[in-house]
Each structure stands twice: as C-alpha cells, then as structure tokens.
Amino acid sequence: MNLTVPLFTPRFTPADKNQLLKVLHSGWLTHGPFNEKFETDFARYLDVNHAVSVNSCASALLVSLIAHKIKGEVIIPSFTFVATANAVVNAGATPVFVDVSYDTCNINPQAINASITKRTEAIIPVHFGGQSAPMKPIMALAQKHKLVVIEDSAETIGGLYQGKKTGSFGTGCFSFYPTKNLTTGEGGMVTTNSTRLASIIRTYAAHGITTTAFIRQQTKQPWLRTATVAGYNFRMSGLQAGLGISQLKRLDTMNRTRRRLASWYTRRLKNIEEIDVPVESPNCYHVYQMYTIKVKKVDRTKFLAKLRQRGIDATVHFDPPVHKQLFYKKFCDHRTDLSVTNRLSRNIVPLPLFPAMTQQQQVYVVNNIKAAIKVSRSS
C-alpha cells in the first residue's frame, strides 16, 4: 500500500475560522485591534515587555538590525536560510559566517569567539529546527564584547533554554510561515524588553509613522500622520493577526504533539547504523519544527529519490549553505573552519512531521527509510 506523506501540512480548526470571520466582520483588516491583541498575547507568552507584528521574519530581522543601528560585522551561522544573511546585507552590515555543532546544528560559541573582531557589532544565533542555540555562552560573549544579540527564532516558537523561551534573551525575530509551529500564512514578530526599541521598530515597520491607524482613529484628528524616518511597509494584516491569536492558544499543545511524534521516530531510528537522529540538549526543550536525520554511508540523492517515489516528501536543508551561494562567496573568509556546516549540508534529511500526522504515516515513513537505505548504500 502506497501513502502520500507531505513534509508538513497545516491544520486549521473551527476556532481559527471563527476568528477570521471576527476580523472580517470588524472591518479592521490591517493595523488594528487584532494586531494589538496578537502582540499583547505573544509578549505575554514569551514573558517579554513588547512584541511588534510584521509581515515576515525576514522583515523582523532587517528592522531589528536597523533599529540597533548595526553597520559593522554580524556573526551568523552559514547553516541557515539565506534570509538571515540577506537581512544583514540589506541593513548595510557585513555577515561573518561561522560553524555550527554537528549534534544540534546550532551555532558554535567557540566559533563565535574566534570570529569576534573590533568591527563586530552583533551576533545572530539561529535556533535550528525547534531547539535553542546555547544562549548562556552566547550572551556571555555578547556582554563581554558589548555586542547586540538578535535571535533568529523562526524555527523555534515555544522552545526553551534553561526554562526561558527563545526570543526573550536579546531581540527576538519569529516567522509564522505555513511550515512553522504557529502559522498565519505569512507573517512575523519582533520581541524585546526595550520600550524605546519597540517604538523604533514599530515606526520603521509602518512607513516611518509613529502611530497605527487604530490608535489615530481614537484621537480628535485621526487624519494627521507624519513620517519621522524613511520607513517600510512591513505591517501584518489583521487577518493574519486574527489567525495568530487563535493558533497561539493551542501552540503548547501542538508542540507537545510534535515532541511525541519526534520521540516515536527516534525510538525506531536511533539504532540504524546509517542514521544519526536529532539530539535534545540537556538545557533545552525541543519543539521540533523539523525532525532532521543525518544519513551516513548512503547516497543521499538516491535515498531521497526512493522515499519520494513512495510518496514521502523528505527534503534537505541547507544545501548549499549560505557561504557557498553565489552572492555570498565574496563574504566568506576561506580560513574560517566551516567543515561541520559543509558536512551537514551533504547529509541532513528533514522527515515529514506535523501535528496531524498519523501513526500509520509514521510507520510508513520508517519502513520506507529502511528500504531506501538498502538501495542507496555507498559502495
């Protein structure tokens, strides 16, 4: 029997749909009360003072760099989606690529330390696949060298490090893309404890105007609006915010389901010689935005082709890594050791995982992994 197992499929509940109807009936389709509520709820969830909704994590990263006035070097992992590096360059800064740890795929603090120079102004740790980067040593390095920390938490909504949620250590940046643990279709969020920084970010994200349409509507002259900086249109729609409000209410439940599914995978794959399974660090609460295995002694292309022939939508991340992409080759210092990044880009395989995944689908994936290994072993 053949099944179709997507890499991910979002699930929407009647509560999600009712919330969207509330937005439609309200008439506030953007920059309105639903954005304010989503921001308030999200800040409370992370235990931070402020959250600012935007249209993507890419915009969140860019506006955070601009708000912090970062123009020098920014240390980032090369094992990430290109959006992280794009934000650095588009802000007028210079990306410095460093290596990650093999077991977690997260940025290596020793590699960060080795790359800090007098030109370094910021670090962007990317919390990979649902697990926090090692924030204690990262924050210690940032404090020692007076560096800004901007967390790319696109893949780790609800993940914990030493009991503290990702995105609450420095300036947090989140994605609500359809494959994320919480989705609004597109969309993002910036989180911070700084009232001043939140105000700057909110202004840059809305054409440089300091007040929202909803707030202006409550004043005597709501038509008055003045740009204080040359801003952008990075606003999140009210429909997206409404969906976010609803999804946030069950985020922890969905994350627990992801952990249960991941544990099931691990128990059945950990003893296969050709596979390294994901590792949950002792200080972390992994929320498995992805379940990524690493294949060894097999031809990954043949392995993936076999799975896809059987209807299993396994894929790869991030191949090529950013430092090997055409635009970014010029930023790469070839003396920098990126060997782990290069290795991961050749052997990592994210498997299907989503809260609505059935046991039948998981059994089907595991059985076909075993068959795919047999036909793809390296000679």
Question: Could you count the other beta carbons within 10 Å of the beta carbon of residue 83?
Answer: 21
Mean pLDDT within 105-113 = 98
Of the pLDDT bands very low, low, confident and very high (cuts 50, 70, 90), residue 290 is very high
pLDDT at residue 225, rounded to an integer: 65
For the cut 60, the answer to whether the pLDDT of residue 358 exceeds it is yes
In order of their start, the domains of the chain are 14-250 (3.40.640.10), 252-376 (3.90.1150.10)
Hey, which residues does 96 pair with through a beta bridge? 75
Residue 46 CB contacts under 8 Å (≥ 6 apart), including other chains? 165, 167, 168, 172, 191
- Give the pair of three-digit tokens for residue 282: 């002792």
The three-class DSSP label of residue 74 is strand
One-character DSSP codes across 210-263: SS-HHHHTTSS-TT---BSS---B-PPBHHHHHHHHHHHHTHHHHHHHHHHHHH
Of the pLDDT bands very low, low, confident and very high (cuts 50, 70, 90), residue 260 is very high
The one-letter amino acid at 231: G
371 contacts 309 by C-beta, under 8 angstroms: no
Mean pLDDT within 238-250 = 97
The three-class DSSP label of residue 23 is helix
Mean pLDDT within 81-96 = 98
pLDDT at residue 221, rounded to an integer: 53
pLDDT at residue 332, rounded to an integer: 82
Task: Give the model confidence (pLDDT) of 296-340 as tens digits.
Answer: 999 999 999 999 999 999 999 999 999 999 999 999 877 789 999
Mean pLDDT within 83-103 = 98
CA distances from 199 to 196, 204, 212, 235, 259 (A): 5, 9, 11, 14, 36
pLDDT at residue 335, rounded to an integer: 74
Task: Give the model confidence (pLDDT) of 160-202 as tens digits.
Answer: 999 999 999 999 999 999 999 999 999 999 999 999 999 999 9
346 phi/psi in degrees, rounded to 5: -90, -20
pLDDT at residue 213, rounded to an integer: 56
Of the pLDDT bands very low, low, confident and very high (cuts 50, 70, 90), residue 217 is low
Hey, which residues does 151 pair with through a beta bridge? 172
Of the pLDDT bands very low, low, confident and very high (cuts 50, 70, 90), residue 2 is confident
Of the pLDDT bands very low, low, confident and very high (cuts 50, 70, 90), residue 212 is low
Residue with the bigger pLDDT between 185 and 30: it is: 185
Flag the least confident range among 73-87, 119-133, 212-226, 241-255: 212-226
54 contacts 31 by C-beta, under 8 angstroms: no
pLDDT at residue 32, rounded to an integer: 87
pLDDT at residue 368, rounded to an integer: 97
Question: Could you count the other beta carbons within 10 Å of the beta carbon of residue 69?
Answer: 13
When the pLDDT of each residue in the chain is averaged and rounded to a whole number, the result is 94
For the cut 90, the answer to whether the pLDDT of residue 39 exceeds it is yes
pLDDT at residue 12, rounded to an integer: 94
